[in-house]
Amino acid sequence: MTDETATTRTPKYVQLAQHLYDTMISVGQPHELLPTERDLQQAHGVSRDTVRRAIALLSQKQLVYNVQGSGTYIAAQNSTVKSPSLVSFTEDIEARGMTPATTTLSCHMVPAPTAAQRDLGLEADSKVIKIVRLRWANGAPIALETAHFIPEAFSRVEPEFSTSLDSQLASSGYRIERATQRISATNLTAAEAEQLALPQGAAALVVERVGFTRAGQAIETTRALYRADRYDFELDLARP
């Protein structure tokens, strides 16, 4: 079979997807905007359906992602860390070879939600410090994090968002030494997707954590939504 025969038997959208990967995606930068469907249609002399199927194939392979109303972008390839050790977000992202950053969206004292009461062992009328943060890696949003802390954790220090909260907690005598963590999957709401620059309904990893002091006191409960196209976990398992 000649190369020409093999090419003619390959669907046009697969050929186009391979061409886009070879000429744009493999040599482009993460989160770089690709040409519009119309531009691709005209540049390659194919139908709009062919372009859409090619983009869908690339998206299925997690090579591109779409932002509604904005366009199609080159996806960043996931970096994986095998060790399930207790580390901060900053330490985690740096270990993956990326540059971390954080934007604090809100910080308030609020009545403790039912889940926080359960996780932190609080009474029904208790209050907690709620902090909502948008986490970044290499200049792109990677996680939307909502944390609840017992007020005593910051009794000797005001939350200072230019430095790590973990280090501030340690300086106030509430260092997190142990945590339980649960990972599940979800689809993003419109508001969540907007923060993470993804379309509504996009897949995300839910990472729920409860942090404990050395004495066993629960002081923090966090629910973070991680972009499934940019973040993953890998664990080493062994028989007991």
pLDDT of residue 1: 32
Nearest to 133, CA basis, from 88, 187, 66, 68: 88
pLDDT of residue 163: 62
Residue numbers in the chain where pLDDT is lower than 50? 1-7
pLDDT of residue 156: 55
pTM above 0.75, yes or no: no
Distance CA 60, CA 79 (A): 18
Find all residues with CB under 8 Å of 161, minimum gap 6, and list them: 102, 104, 107, 133
Tokens of 177: 């030494």
176 to 79, 89, 170: CA distances (angstroms): 25, 13, 7
pLDDT of residue 42: 94
135 to 114, 138, 169, 227, 228: CA distances (angstroms): 25, 10, 19, 11, 14
pLDDT of residue 73: 86
